[in-house]
């Protein structure tokens, strides 16, 4: 566990009275697009403007970024508005160009964090820099890769570090473009308790309607800030159109978000709230899992109906109960509790299947 209070210094030096907000388009498209957005962000809570210059696209043939010329546009935006600027770097050449353009914050994208070779190349190119470097989680839910990325930078003597939770890729696309795995981020924080952590609700959601709720969950978990894709004409964006919000919506969002006051709050209360938020996350996951289980139960109901088989199969039910009681013991859950829980689940399943079988 690396307790290094210096890791939070860059954030404290910003002297914000609210969580850090980084906003700006997925990609720099044109000079006028960058300047328009920068000016619209000027009176928002955003203190940093983001824009991708080199865009890692999963499939070739999509817009792959404007390249180094975009750095000039970002510099101009910084000069005109006073916003700090941030972009993604994915190799030594990007780092050299970004440092030469005096980019304030460099981030390592999810597709780079998966590769220790790339992260090491970037760390070597950045050695000893006082720029702020943020490491996004890798695309796949692997804590070691994320930790490894942070450690390679830390070992290169980069102290102005932070991480971004942008969700994890799954084969089965459900509600989110990239599933938030709050627990993985909590495990990372346990290893680096003083490392600032930001949420990227845009790449988690893939859909602007979910951005607010994801930010709220992150703030409830004591995140230090957010990086939000923001575009003056989101629907016309050259990349990630569906997930971008307007600077206007960003302003409204930062007004509406419930921000936990840490100042002056008793340490007990603060710790309690963080623990409660962790429970809320697990509870929501539990309900989601029960929903998934019930969908499978329904499929079995259809199968039983087609084959004219009785709903209740006592032998199978006994096996389920016994195996869950054993699993419960391994997890310090009493036999009585697991039995009651399993019975409640079973009753609900029977009711579901009953409805399916009695439908014609
Ligand atoms: C981005 O922030 O523009 C980006 C490409 O994100 P990620 O690396 O999280 O996919
Ligand atoms: Mn994007």
Q: pLDDT tens, 253-276?
A: 999 999 865 555 667 777 787 788
- Phi, psi for 232 (deg, rounded to 5): -70, -25
- Determine if ligand 1 sits within 6 Å of the CB of residue 177: no
Is the pLDDT reported for residue 170 higher than 60?
yes
Ligand 1 touching residue 24 (CB < 6 A): no
Overall average pLDDT of the 6-23 stretch: 95
Distance in Å, CA 108 to ligand 2 centroid: 13
For the chain, the helix, strand and coil percentages under 3-state DSSP, each to the nearest 5? 55, 10, 35
Ligand 1 pocket test, pick from 74, 110, 163, 169 with the greatest ligand atom count within 8 Å of Cβ, gives 110
**Is the confidence at residue 328, as pLDDT, over 80?**
yes
**184-194 tens-digit pLDDT:** 999 999 899 99
Domain borders along the chain are 5-256, 266-358
Q: Which residues lie across from 135 on neighbouring strands?
A: 108, 163
CB 110 less than 6 A from any atom of ligand 1: yes
Atom of ligand 1 nearest to the CA of 167: 9
Q: How far is CA 153 from CA 94, 125, 159, 163, in A?
A: 16, 10, 8, 11
Q: 220 vs 163, which has greater pLDDT? A: 163
Q: Which of 31-45, 224-238, 293-307 has the lowest mean pLDDT?
A: 293-307
Letter string b/e over residues 53-90, b meaning 16 or more CB atoms within 10 A of that residue's CB: bbbeeeeeeeeebbeeebbebbeebbeebebbbbbbbb
Mutation pick for ligand 1 pocket among 24, 27, 54, 56 (CB with most ligand atoms within 8 Å) = 56
Please give the CATH topology (third level) of the domain spanning 266-358: Chorismate Mutase Domain, subunit A (1.20.59)
**pLDDT at site 1:** 65
pLDDT score for 261: 59
Residues 161-183 have a mean pLDDT of 92
% the chain with pLDDT above 70: 98
User: What was the pLDDT predicted at 263?
Assistant: 52
How far away, in angstroms, is 178 Cα from ligand 1 center? 11
What's the pLDDT score for residue 59? 83
Across 142-165, average pLDDT: 97
| Closest C-alpha to ligand 1, atom 1 | 26
Please list the residues that pair with 163 across neighbouring strands: 135, 197
Weakest mean pLDDT among 38-42, 152-156, 255-259? 255-259
The more confidently predicted of residues 206 and 58 is 206
Cα(26) to centroid of ligand 2, in Å?
4
Evaluate: CB of 50 within 6 angstroms of ligand 1.
no
Q: Residue 264: what pLDDT?
A: 54
User: What is the reported pLDDT for 265?
Assistant: 60
Q: 115 vs 313, which has greater pLDDT?
A: 115
Residue 71 beta carbon below 6 angstroms from any ligand 1 atom: no
Mean predicted lDDT score pLDDT of the chain: 93
**Topology adopted by domain 5-256:** TIM Barrel (3.20.20)
Half-sphere exposure of 241 (CA within 13 A, CB side): 7
Residue 23: how many other CB atoms lie within 10 Å: 31
What atom in ligand 1 is closest to the CA of residue 110?
8
Question: Which of 202-211, 265-274, 286-295 is most confident?
Answer: 202-211
pTM for this model (two decimals):
0.79
User: Percentage of residues in the chain with pLDDT exceeding 90?
Assistant: 72
Report the alpha-carbon distance of residue 215 to residue 199 in Å, rounded.
7
Question: In this predicted structure, what is the pLDDT of residue 312?
Answer: 78
What is the predicted pLDDT for the residue at 57?
77
pLDDT tens for 229-259 read: 999 999 999 999 999 999 999 999 999 999 8
C-alpha dist (Å) from residue 160 to 44, 154, 196: 24, 9, 9
């Amino acid at each position: 566990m690396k307790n290094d209070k210096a890791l939070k210094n860059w954030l404290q030096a910003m002297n914000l009275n609210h969580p850090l907000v980084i906003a700006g388009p997925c990609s720099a498209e044109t000079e006028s697009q960058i300047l328009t957005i920068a000016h619209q962000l000027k009176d928002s809570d955003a203190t940093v403007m983001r824009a991708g210059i080199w865009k890692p696209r999963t499939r070739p043939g999509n817009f792959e970024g404007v390249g180094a010329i975009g750095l000039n546009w970002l510099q101009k935006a910084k000069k005109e508005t006073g916003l700090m600027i941030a972009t993604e770097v994915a190799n030594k050449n990007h780092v050299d160009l970004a440092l030469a353009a005096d980019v304030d914050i460099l981030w390592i994208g999810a597709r780079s964090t998966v590769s220790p070779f790339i992260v090491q190349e970037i760390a070597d190119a950045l050695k000893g820099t006082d720029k702020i470097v943020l490491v996004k989680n890798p695309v796949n839910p692997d804590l070691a890769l994320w930790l490894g990325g942070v450690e390679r930078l830390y070992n290169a003597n980069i102290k102005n570090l932070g991480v971004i939770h942008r969700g994890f890729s799954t084969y089965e696309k459900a509600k989110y473009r990239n599933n938030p795995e709050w627990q993985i981020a909590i495990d990372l924080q346990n290893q680096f308790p003083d490392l600032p952590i930001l949420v990227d609700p845009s790449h988690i959601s893939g859909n602007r309607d979910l951005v607010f709720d994801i930010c709220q969950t992150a703030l409830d978990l004591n995140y230090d800030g957010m990086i939000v894709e923001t575009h003056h004409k989101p629907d016309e964006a050259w990349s990630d159109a569906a997930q971008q919000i307007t600077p206007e919506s960003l302003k409204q969002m930062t007004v509406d978000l419930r921000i936990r006051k840490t100042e002056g709050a008793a340490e007990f209360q603060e710790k309690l709230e963080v623990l409660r938020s962790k429970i809320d996350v697990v509870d929501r996951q539990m309900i989601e899992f029960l929903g998934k289980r019930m969908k499978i139960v329904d499929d079995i109901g259809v199968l039983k109906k087609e084959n004219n088989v009785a709903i209740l199969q006592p032998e199978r039910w006994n096996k389920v109960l016994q195996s869950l009681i054993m699993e419960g013991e391994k997890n310090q859950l009493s036999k009585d509790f697991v039995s009651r829980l399993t019975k409640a689940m079973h009753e609900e399943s029977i009711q579901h299947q009953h409805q399916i079988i009695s439908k014609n």
